[in-house]
């Protein structure tokens, strides 16, 4: 599934870049949107998964919910970082600098830092239950920043363009945006699932090691 998802994403990228015209002001650099915008959408979706499974863990205390939330957080943070980097590259010609303390950029950076902190917390807290409770709280609270990021261009004056969607785009770019979003969705699902499977194996190994240590003479 993983190889197929990545191949589909590569094919949709190639199709979109080769068939869409150069934009009037940005030229071919505009086509970076085929990665940047879907990456932003998938960031939001991944952190929504973190929110749902963090709340489920706080409610029921199931280990699997904690592992799903952590897996989604890792993938979401990666997509969040990709969104930031591509946004800087895309904005550089228009703004003349790599970074501006714009409402959209700043709120996206804050979102990234929250989930980088989430992952750091999980790395440094040894007690499983304490780690799960604390990270679930951070994940649930941190995900609240997602609608702030999305609405930032409407709530504050910003250099960033309005949210990109098929309704706001030139029709020449709409199909490419849609198919790349679906392709990246499948890639994201694959990596969350794979990371969850690895996390379960890691947790099983930890439990086996603890049991062996307790049973040692």
- In this prediction, what percent of the chain has a pLDDT beyond 90? 52
* Mean per-residue pLDDT, 1-20: 85
The sign of the dihedral angle between the CA atoms of 197, 203, 205, 211 is: negative
The pLDDT of residue 95: 81
Nearest 5°: the CA angle 183, 185, 188 is: 115
Q: What pTM was estimated for this model as a whole?
A: 0.88
Alpha-carbon separation of residue 142 from 50, 120, 138, 147 (angstroms): 9, 14, 6, 11
The pLDDT of residue 192: 97
The pLDDT of residue 205: 87
Tokens, residue 150: 């999305």
| Confidence at 151, pLDDT banded by 50, 70, 90 | confident
Instruction: Give the span between the Cα atoms of 90 and 36, in whole angstroms.
Output: 9
- Which residues share a beta bridge with 38? none
């Amino acid at each position: 599934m993983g190889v197929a998802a990545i191949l589909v994403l590569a094919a949709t990228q190639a199709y979109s870049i080769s068939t869409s015209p150069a934009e009037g002001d940005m030229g071919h650099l505009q086509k970076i949107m085929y990665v940047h915008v879907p990456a932003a959408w998938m960031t939001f979706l991944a952190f929504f998964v973190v929110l749902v499974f963090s709340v489920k863990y706080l409610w029921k205390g199931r280990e699997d919910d904690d592992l799903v939330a952590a897996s989604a957080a890792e993938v979401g943070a990666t997509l969040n970082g990709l969104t930031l980097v591509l946004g800087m590259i895309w904005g550089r010609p228009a703004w003349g600098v790599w970074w501006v303390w714009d409402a959209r950029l700043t709120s996206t950076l804050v979102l990234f830092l929250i989930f980088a902190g989430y992952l750091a917390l999980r790395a440094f807290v040894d007690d499983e239950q304490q780690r799960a409770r604390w990270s679930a709280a951070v994940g649930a609270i941190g995900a609240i920043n997602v609608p702030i990021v999305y609405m930032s261009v409407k709530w504050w004056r910003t250099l960033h363009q309005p949210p990109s969607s098929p309704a706001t785009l030139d029709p020449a770019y709409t199909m490419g945006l849609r198919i790349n979003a679906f392709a990246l969705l499948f890639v994201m699902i694959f990596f969350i699932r794979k990371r969850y499977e690895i996390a379960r194996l890691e947790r099983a190994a930890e439990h086996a090691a603890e049991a062996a240590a307790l049973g040692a003479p």
